[in-house]
Every structure is written in structure tokens, then in C-alpha cells.
Chains A and B, each alone.
Chain A
Amino acid sequence: MSDTVIRTRYGTGLSARIRREPGLWLGLAVMALLLLICLFPGLFATASPFEIDTAAALQGPSAQHWFGTDDVGRDTYSRVIHGARVTLSICAGSLLISALVGGALGMVSGFFGGLVDQVLGRLVDVMLSFPPIVLGIIITGVLGPELQNLILALSVVYMPVFFRIARAGSMAQANLSYVEAARSVGLRESTILRRHLVRNVAPLLMTQYMILFPLILQIQAALGFLGLGVQPPTPDWGALLEQGKDYILFAPWMSVFPGLAVLLTAFALILVGRALQGRIDSR
């Protein structure tokens, strides 16, 4: 979106804001719907995600089973709906750990420099030398497909990215005059770090959180697909895809809909992330 377009469309009402940034609002609308699904899956689901009915196995989409049924007759639609909470909470939680730990280490590293910075910087380089999905596979593959290992893997994968952003952010702030002023009136370094730097670096981390969310979602789904993520019978989008893989030619609906759920969610997240990034850049 160019500046000219934005400037010519004035207005502060909701409809004007939507017209100005349709992508952002579309993304927010989908995210709001997803949040509702995560909070109240019972309102959306039409059946139990666990109820087995072998007589109704591998049926295509119908009025009764909107997304068809799986190999033991469970309702795919209800499994996708209940899967939203499992999948998205794992992603959101892991990425939060990632942002907090990576961000804190990065800020300390950038602000104090020295040996800590050297060591952490080297470690981050090492982690970045693996493609993210490979790092995820190593961790979950070696430790085993358990929930805590999945969360560990997902929070480690993008930690270096948060580290680098926080480090660069706090390095840039550390030399500004307000930090110098704070120091000259006798504030302790740790107080400056807490009171001033965190406040300036946090928005950068939050934007990055939104940008990385669709990526971590895809890695989560990929690990599930490889059998290294959430294990059946828990409804998880990646696990559903793993389960559907063997039936892909007879019952493609088992794979189509969980994949669409990942796609739609990632799409909405990317739209919102891009809008946020645009705001940070134009500041």
C-alpha cells in the first residue's frame, strides 16, 4: 500500500478504517473467529471429537458430517474444531516462551555486551545454522514425541530471532541520550534496563511474535505430520494430517480440511503481521 493511497482516504470511522486496511481487518476478523472456536469449541462442533462409529467410517462430506469421517468414523469437522485449541495454544505458548527467553537474553546481551554477548551470540549463530524445521526435527526426534518436548522444540526454533531483534533494539537504545541522562542521575543499570529498554524493545518483540506465529504454526503442523508432534487420539491439526496421509487417495477429506484450517489461520496471521510490520516501519 503506498502512502498516497492512505492519504487520500480520510476518515476515522470503522468503515473508513476497514477500507484503508482491508487485509488487516480481514485478518483480525478471522482471528476473532478462531479465538471464539478455541474458547468455546462446544458451540461450533456438531459431534464429539472422540466418538468412534466404525459403521460410519471413511464417509465423504455430507449434511451430517460436514468434513466427512475418518477411518474409525469420527467426525472430521468436530475434530478440526477441537483441534484449533490444541494446535493454537501449543503454538501461542511456545512462541511466548521463545519471545520472553530470547527477548530477555537479547536485551541483556545487547545492553551489557562483553563476554556474555560473545558467548550468547556464538550460540545463536550455531542455532541459526540449521534450517528451523530441521532444528525442530532433531529436538523432537531425539527426545521423543511428548508434549513437553514439542513445546521445547517449538520455543527453541525461533528463539535466536527474538534474541537478535532484542539485542539490536537494546543496542540502539543503549546509546541514546535518555539512557545517558538516566545514568547521569544515578539510576542503576538494571533499573534502566527494566524501566526504559524493555518498554522500547517490547513493541518490536510483539510485532515479531505476530510475524513468526504463522511460521511456528506450519512447523507445528509439519512435526505433527511427521509423527513427532501431538499424538492421536488428541485432535491436533498436524496429527489429523498425519492420520489422513494413509487414506489420501480414498478419503482426501481427512487431509483437505485440517490443512485448510492451517492455511486459513496462517493467512489471517500473515495479514495482521504485515500490517503491524508496516506500522513499525513507517514510524
Chain B
Amino acid sequence: MLAYLVKRLGASLLTALLATFLVFVFVRMVPGDVVAQMMGQAGSDRAEEALRAFFGLDQPVWMQYFAWLGDVLRGDFGVSWTRGMPVTEMVGEAFLVTLELGLLTLALATIVGVPLGIIAGIYEGRALDTTIQAFNILGLAAPVFWVGLMILVGVSATFSWSPPLRFQGPTEDLSENLAMLLLPILSLGFLQAAAYSQFVRQSVVSAMHEDYVRTAIAKGMPTRTVFFKHILRNVAIPIVTFMGLILIQILGGVVIIESLFALPGLGRLLLSAIETRDYPIVQGALLVVVVVAMVVNLVVDLVYHLLDPRLRIS
């Protein structure tokens, strides 16, 4: 188990390192850096050169990378080139917003999606299953930002209510904070509930067709016992796995939903940093995204091993 964990961690670290390197080189390959954007037409060549030297952009890319990596390993992610604030602070603040949004969305998706999937799976092939599946496919087909827009229109037309304009953290003003997050959570949560429900349905259906379930029913075991003892227990493992998958999908979804609802999260920070060529922020934000995705995958793997005794032996 420990050997496996070490191997997994090592592979993940290598991948993360490569990912940061590729991003680092990629953003620098393109003409039009932060200096050109700051100076516009006005800058003299000498001033531009001086500013490039200040940002270290005059160095070869690989030297810039190792300088950056060295700083990161010491916990220093640098300073934003356009705002002058520490990257750690800016990315950290944005990450907390995204994290709150992501976890609440996951909660909604789980509460709605898992029961729907179980019900659909149990009533496989009947009207209830068809209805739930139609919801699932609609949810998978709908673009998340469009659903957000429709909910926004619907809510403001029906309740003449619109979300607050300025974001406040949960510790500042919890009710304002939740009011701002409500619509993004609803739009993203329902779509991910559909995806979750579809996954869960499939694993319930395949569990229902297992021999041990048929045997249990044939020998007269009460349906309730069959469900809890044989089906739910076997479906628990895929449900956990899917939770990780859904969380990573949510991580992608929040990027768009944040820019729609003006939430100061990681996605919006990333978008604006790409636009202004603020490389330290781009690198910091993407590193967080990659690391979060990896940690989620790793945790899912570990839980998987804990839940499934068959995997523990090998």
C-alpha cells in the first residue's frame, strides 16, 4: 500500500512539473507580452528593454523556468506583474471562492444526483427510469453558462430578485455570500446532478444483473434487504469514484460560471491574467488547478482501495 502510494505520488509530481513547464514555455512563445501591453505605442525601445529585464523576460526561457521553480519550491510564487500583489495572496483568495462554490455544487449534485440514479437503476426500463434518463441527457446536453443565463432570467422575472453585485466572503456576510452563490450553484449543480445520476444509474443497473442479486431475490430475501445489503454496498465504490470525477468536472465548469456571475474565483482570475499576460498569476492559478485535480484523483484512488477489499490484497 505504502509503496503504491509513493509510486503514485511520484508520478503525479512528475506530471505536475511537466505541466507547469509546458504552460511556462507556451505562454512565452507567443508575441505580445506584458511589457508590450503596458507600454502600448508609447514606449521607447530602451524603456521596454529595461522593463523586460526587470521581469526577467530577457533571460532564456529555461533559465526563467528554473528561477521560478526554485522560488516556488521555497514557497514564493512571485508577484503579479499587473497588480503588484503577491501571487499567493491573489490566487489563494480566488481559490477559496472557487472552493466554496465547488464544494456546495458537489453537495447539491450528490444530494440530487445519487438518489435519482439509484431510483432510475432500480426501475430500469420503466417510465420512471425513462423520465429520469431524459432529465439526465438534457442535463448533459445543456451548456452550463446558458442554464445560468436562463435561471438568471427566470428568477428575475418571477421573483424580481437579482443576485448582489459585490462578492462578500462567507465570514464577512454569510447571507450576501450565499445569495451571490445561489444561482451559480443551482445552474452548475443541476447539470452535474444529471451526470452523477447517469453514472450511478449505470452501476446500479449492472449490480442488479449480478448473479448474487438474482440469487438473493430467488431465495426470498426481502427487497429492502437485497437493496441495502447487496446493491448499495456494491454501488458505494463507483459512487465515490464518480464523486471525484464530478468534482473535476465542476472545477472546469466554475471557470465559465464564475465569469458569467462575476464571482472573483480562480477561473475569472485565470481569464483576466491570460488576457493581460500576467504570467506569474497564470502559472500560479494553473498550478493550483492541476494540483487540485491530482489530489482529487489520488484521494479517490485511496478511498477505492479502502472500500474494495479485492484491491487491497494485490
Question: Is A bound to B?
Answer: yes
A residues at B contact (CB < 8 Å): 1-2, 5, 122-123, 125-126, 129-134, 137-138, 141-144, 214, 218, 221-222, 225-226, 241, 244-245, 248-249, 252, 255-256, 259, 262-264, 266-267, 269-271, 274
Cα–Cα distance between A67 and B259 once the two chains are bound (Å): 26
What interface size band does chain B fall in?
Answer: 35 or more
Q: Quick check: A131 and B15 within 8 Å, CB to CB?
A: no
Known contacts A248-B152, A255-B146; A126 and B15 CB within 8 A of each other: yes
Q: In the complex, which of the residues B153, B271, B293 contacts A141, with contact meaning CB atoms closer than 8 Å?
A: B271
Count of A-B residue pairs with CB < 8 Å = 124
Known contacts A133-B256, A137-B271; A267 and B141 CB within 8 A of each other: yes
Q: Quick check: A131 and B248 within 8 Å, CB to CB?
A: yes
Which of A129, A245, A259 has the largest number of chain B CB atoms within 10 A? A129
Q: In the complex, which of the residues B142, B153, B286 contacts A130, with contact meaning CB atoms closer than 8 Å?
A: B286
Q: Quick check: B145 and A225 within 8 Å, CB to CB?
A: yes
Tell me which residues across on chain A come within 8 A of B274, comparing CB atoms.
137-138, 141-142
**Cβ-closest chain A residue relative to B248:** A131
Q: Quick check: A266 and B140 within 8 Å, CB to CB?
A: yes
Cα–Cα distance between A138 and B290 once the two chains are bound (Å): 13
Q: In the complex, which of the residues B27, B137, B248, B293 contacts A270, with contact meaning CB atoms closer than 8 Å?
A: B137
Q: Which of B17-25, B89-97, B107-115, B175-183 lies on the face that meets chain A?
A: B17-25
Minimum CB–CB distance from B144 to chain A (whole Å) comes to: 7
Cα–Cα distance between A96 and B62 once the two chains are bound (Å): 34
Q: Quick check: A249 and B153 within 8 Å, CB to CB?
A: yes
3 closest pairs, A vs B, by CB?
A131-B252, A259-B146, A266-B141
Q: Quick check: B271 and A142 within 8 Å, CB to CB?
A: no
Contact flags (1/0) for B265-307 with A, using CB distance below 8 Å?
A: 0000011001100000000001001100110000000000000
**Cβ-closest chain A residue relative to B146:** A259
Contacting A at CB under 8 A, from B2-56, are: 11, 14-16, 18-19, 22-23, 26-27, 30
Main secondary structure of the interface of B (DSSP, over half): helix
**Cβ-closest chain A residue relative to B208:** A2
B60 within 8 Å of A (CB atoms): no
Known contacts A222-B144, A262-B143; A130 and B293 CB within 8 A of each other: yes
Cα–Cα distance between A134 and B273 once the two chains are bound (Å): 13
Q: Quick check: B141 and A214 within 8 Å, CB to CB?
A: yes
B150 within 8 Å of A (CB atoms): yes
Minimum CB–CB distance from A238 to chain B (whole Å) comes to: 9
Cα–Cα distance between A225 and B286 once the two chains are bound (Å): 21
Tell me which residues across on chain A come within 8 A of B293, comparing CB atoms.
129-131
A-B contact pairs, 6 of them (CB 8 A): A218-B144, A248-B153, A259-B142, A259-B150, A262-B143, A267-B138
Q: Quick check: A263 and B146 within 8 Å, CB to CB?
A: yes
Which of A131, A262, A264 has the largest number of chain B CB atoms within 10 A? A131
Known contacts A222-B144, A222-B256; A142 and B137 CB within 8 A of each other: no
Tell me which residues across on chain A come within 8 A of B117, comparing CB atoms.
none
